[in-house]
C-alpha cells in the first residue's frame, strides 16, 4: 500500500486532504507539531478502516523530519504523496514586527517544505511516480500591508514548487501549487464571525477535491498551478 503524508493537520484543509487520499486507498501519515491536532481525523479514518499513523513532528527541524519519515516508511510503506499544508503566519505593522516573526514564518512556510520534499522524493523516484501539493495563498502573488511575514513565506513556497516541478515532472513526480484565494471555512473562523455567509468562504473539502482532480490528471496534461476562490470573491 502506498502512503500519503499530510503535513499541517487540523480541523480544516489538512483533515480534508487526509480523508480525500484515504478514499483513494492510501495509508495516511498525519504530521503536525502536536498530536492532538491530528487525533480527531485519525480516529475518524481508523473507524472507516483506513491505515493511519499520527507522527508529532516539528517540520522546521531537519532531524525530526528525517526521523518522522523513517517511522512512516517502516510502519506504513513507501511514500508517493506529500500534501504540504503547513503555513507560517505573522502579521502587524512592519516597523513593530520582531525579525523572529519573519524567520518563524519562513521556516514553517518554506523550510519545512524543503525538509519533507528532500525526505520523500527519493521514494517517489524509486517508485517511478509521485504527487506533491503545496498549499499557497493570495499572498504568494501580492503582498498586503501588514502581512509581510506571510507574503515572504508564501512567495518562497511558490518558487520552491516551480523549481521542483521543472526538475521532477520529467522524472514522473507531479508537483502542484494551489493558490487559495479566499478564507477557508473552519470552526475557528465560524466562531469568530458566526454571521458570515458560507458562500464567501471556501469549504476545505472543495479544495481537497480540486487537488484530487489534479492528482488524477494523466501525464500528458499535468497542471502545475491552480487557483481556487469563492464565486463572489473579487480578483
Backbone angles phi, psi at 56, to 5 degrees: -60, 125
Query: 200 by DSSP, 3-state: which?
Result: helix
CA 107 to chain centroid, in Å, comes to 14
Residue 173 near residue 130, CB atoms below 8 Å: yes
With H, G, I as helix, E, B as strand and everything else as coil, classify residue 92: coil
How many other CB atoms sit within 10 Å of the CB of residue 133?
A: 26
Alpha-carbon gap, residue 78 to 31, rounded angstroms: 16
User: 130 with 172: CB under 8 angstroms?
Assistant: yes
Q: Domains of the chain (ranges plus CATH)?
A: 3-228 (3.40.50.720)
CB-count burial class (<10 Å; 0-12, 13-18, 19+) for 31: buried
Query: For the residues 4-18, what does the mean pLDDT come to?
Result: 95
Q: Where are the beta strands (DSSP E) in 76-147?
A: 79-84, 130-137
What pLDDT score does 98 carry? 96
Q: Has residue 1 got a pLDDT over 90? A: no
| pLDDT recorded at residue 187 | 85
pTM of the model: 0.95
Share of the chain above pLDDT 70, in %: 100
Residue 235: the pLDDT is: 87
pLDDT digits (tens, 9 = 90+) for 206-218: 999 999 999 999 9
Which of left, alpha, beta for 95 (phi over 0: left; psi -120 to 50: alpha)?
Answer: alpha
Amino acid at each position: 500500500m502506498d502512503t500519503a503524508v499530510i503535513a499541517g493537520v487540523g480541523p480544516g484543509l489538512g483533515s480534508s486532504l487526509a480523508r480525500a487520499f484515504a478514499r483513494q486507498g492510501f495509508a495516511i501519515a498525519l504530521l503536525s507539531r502536536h498530536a492532538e491536532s491530528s487525533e480527531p481525523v485519525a480516529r475518524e479514518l481508523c473507524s472507516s478502516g483506513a491505515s493511519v499513523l499520527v507522527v508529532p513532528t516539528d517540520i522546521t527541524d531537519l532531524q525530526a523530519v528525517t526521523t518522522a519519515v523513517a517511522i512512516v516508511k517502516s510502519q506504513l510503506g513507501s511514500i508517493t504523496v506529500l500534501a504540504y499544508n503547513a503555513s507560517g503566519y505573522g502579521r502587524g505593522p512592519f516597523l513593530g514586527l520582531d525579525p523572529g516573526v519573519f524567520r518563524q514564518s519562513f521556516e514553517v512556510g518554506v523550510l519545512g517544505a524543503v525538509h519533507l520534499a528532500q525526505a520523500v522524493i527519493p521514494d517517489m523516484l524509486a517508485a517511478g511516480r509521485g504527487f506533491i501539493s503545496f498549499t499557497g495563498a493570495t499572498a504568494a502573488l501580492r503582498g498586503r500591508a501588514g502581512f509581510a511575514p506571510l507574503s515572504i513565506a508564501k512567495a518562497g513556497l511558490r518558487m520552491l514548487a516551480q523549481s521542483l516541478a521543472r526538475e521532477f515532472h520529467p522524472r514522473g513526480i507531479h508537483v502542484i501549487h494551489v493558490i487559495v484565494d479566499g478564507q477557508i471555512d473552519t470552526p475557528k473562523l465560524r466562531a469568530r464571525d458566526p454571521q458570515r455567509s458560507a458562500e464567501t468562504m471556501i469549504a476545505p473539502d472543495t479544495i481537497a477535491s480540486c487537488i484530487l482532480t489534479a492528482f488524477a490528471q494523466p501525464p500528458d496534461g499535468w497542471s502545475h498551478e491552480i487557483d481556487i476562490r469563492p464565486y463572489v470573491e473579487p480578483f
